[in-house]
Structure 1
Amino acid sequence: MIKLNYLIESLKKNDEKAIRDFYDENKIGFFLFAKRYNLQSDDICDIYQDAIVALIENAKKGKIDDLKSSLSTYLFGIGKCMIFQKFKKESRNCAFDECEEVEVMYEEYNEERINLQIIELQKGFGKLGEQCRKLLRLFYYEEKRLDEILSDLGYINKDVLKSQKSRCLKQLKVLAKI
């Protein structure tokens, strides 16, 4: 609970290092979670960043001072609501109608499960080949566009790079048992 309280206080103070660390720790897990909703990577990135901003704002307003879940669980809940709101705007079907405030722990994504998935992702990432690690790091952590990665890693065309990124993600999912 000390770490949770420390993180909340760090968010309230706009501690850039703590925010960046939290952002990086949860990004791959959030992307894998959001991929199951068949969203484009750009949309997932936008939703993730919006969810982080909402989390910080809620911390500053004192809305999460008595949080019963981890910040990661709360963040995923915010992201899930934002995904469903996006579907609602696009008139896509979804089973979740209302999502004004996230103050409950989502059973489907409880803290223990998310933490285990993050650990498995980290282990799986370490087992990937050098090229896959570079590619996924550039795309997800450094948020580079495929055109930039194309020249950085020496790929000949964008379609080959997309296929390689897809294979790397599939391999990561297998290694992480997700």
Structure 2
Amino acid sequence: MTDNAILEGLKTGDNAYLKHLYLEHKAAFLNFTKNYGIAKNNALDIYQDAILALSENIATGKLTSLNSSLKTYLFSIGKYMVFDYLRAKNKLRHIDDNHFNSLALKIDFDFDVLFKKESNQTEKKLELAFNKLGIKCKTILKLFYYQNYNAEEIVELLEYKSKDVVKSQKYRCLKHLKEIFENER
């Protein structure tokens, strides 16, 4: 069943389409919430709320056509609900520049495990270059590449203005890392 067919079916209020949508993306959403340490029963509640919000957006005319897949739209709703849940549980905390060091120390501990195994010369050179970066660059790159945070999550965590600012900062950090790496002897 195509996303447009499901959308049209949901517009008519046919619960069979809602059930199909619910079952089709349930496992993927529950898997997504595992990354945040959310218990299955709480993740199911969040998923059901996201399904209801999507259904309400259709009923109120807020969603009339798709610019993305229904899954993307649903997960976008769900992701913000996950962040709200974590914020309410005080698991996702906002930090300012004064807290970069404490966050970086926690991430350093986790990140250093990667370098405990035998490293080849290129990996050692990369580690040296990485260690020469500033704390903000280290933090963003570790969150993005090691802990698999996306730009929107990093905006939430580090209180940047937008995901474009995060992407720009990540690009500058990678460029700087590359320059240091290429200049290592």
Rg larger in 1 or in 2?
2
Greater relative CO (CA pairs within 8 A, separation 6+)? 1
**TM-score between both structures, scaled by the size of structure 2:** 0.48
